[in-house]
Amino acid sequence: MSQWAVLIARLNALRKNLPNSVSEVVVVEYNSLVQDLQVSSRDEGLVAFRIPENRLEHLVTGSTRPTARHPSGSVSYSDERYCDDDYFKRQVEGLWGYLAERNTVTNSSQRTYWDMSNDELETLAIGLKIPYVNLSPDGSWNINRTVIIDELVKRDNYLRDMNPQPASSITVHGSVYNSNLQQGDGSTATINYKAMEGDVLRVLAGIERSIDDLGLSLADKGELVADVGTVKAQLNSPNPKTSVITECFRSIRHVLEHAGGAAMAHGLIAEVVRLLSHH
């Protein structure tokens, strides 16, 4: 298995098994994974998905009421620092979405599975749980391109039969990372973002144009970039997850509200609220 495939598999395992409590140890391991992905891909943009130092805080573990001897009372804190669970989840999903969008750009619509490298096919096989290696006579394990491609073609044929939209059974469409790697989330949301994709992209473009004028901190700017990237990646997916997009827009709204007057001047908050109100 290639190094890149190992890193993608580790990231996929993390996003599917997020810890209930994000301790500093978890953050250090995640940041190390982001660093390895950055080195492997030579993409400096991945730094936006690291967990910054200022996102780690000691948790309140107890407190005492004020007394005559201690008028101000006392508060005790945890020895270890922790990261906010929701923020950590958004960073992980943002990284996954960014890699999905990056791969979509890399793989043009004219490329076929047979044009893909062993590393690319291996990454697809890991996510879709396709047997992808076979034992050679010398005892070594090799990528079985034929098996992977046959399974991918079968999958495309099935999706084509289920979806009346025209599709080529051997053409790479959209994101190979986000494709059907995600499981159902049980969401009851009814917003059809795909049906208003043009409007969504217009709002995202407005946010991207204005991001440097909002007076955001580096951490908030990174969070905004991650959320926008995740929404775009979901829209590129054959099966976009409504709950993920909605959560990203809620996060975007939260960041914009912290930007105050600058965000209001651009009318960005109103645009996001309008999208969230569609049913």
pLDDT in tens, 152-195: 777 766 666 655 444 333 344 443 433 333 333 333 346 788 88
Q: Is 66 a domain residue?
A: no
Regarding whether 101 and 122 lie in a shared domain, the answer is no
Q: Do 81 and 13 have their domain in common?
A: yes
In a domain, 41, yes or no: yes
- Please check whether residues 49 and 124 belong to one and the same domain: no
Q: Are residues 265 and 201 in the same domain?
A: yes
Based on the fold, state whether residues 256 and 210 are members of the same structural domain: yes
Structure token pair of residue 243? 């709950």
Position 186 in a domain = no
Q: Is residue 170 part of a domain?
A: no
Residue 39 — pLDDT band, cuts 50, 70, 90?
confident
Report CA-CA distances (Å) from 51 to 22, 135, 165, 182.
11, 40, 40, 23
Domains in the chain: how many in total? 3
- Listed in order, strand segments (DSSP E) in 71-206 are 74-83, 133-135, 141-143
Residues 96 and 129 occupy one common structural domain? no
What is the arithmetic mean of pLDDT over 134-151?
A: 72
263 located within any domain: yes
Any domain includes 190: no
Planar angle of CA 209, 271, 46, nearest 5 degrees: 45
From the centroid of its chain, how far is CA 195? 22
Q: What is the pLDDT of residue 216?
A: 78
Structural domain contains residue 229: yes
Give the pTM: 0.42
The answer to whether residues 124 and 150 belong to one domain is yes
Which of 28-37, 55-64, 78-87, 103-112 comes out lowest in average pLDDT?
103-112
How does residue 106 score in pLDDT terms, banded at 50, 70 and 90? very low
Tell me: do 10 and 81 sit in the same domain: yes
Beta carbons of 141 and 134 less than 8 angstroms apart: yes
Residue 68 lies in a domain: no
Q: How far is CA 165 from the centre of its chain?
A: 26
Q: Residue 45 is part of which domain span?
A: 3-61+76-106
Q: How far apart are CA 84 and CA 44, in angstroms?
A: 25
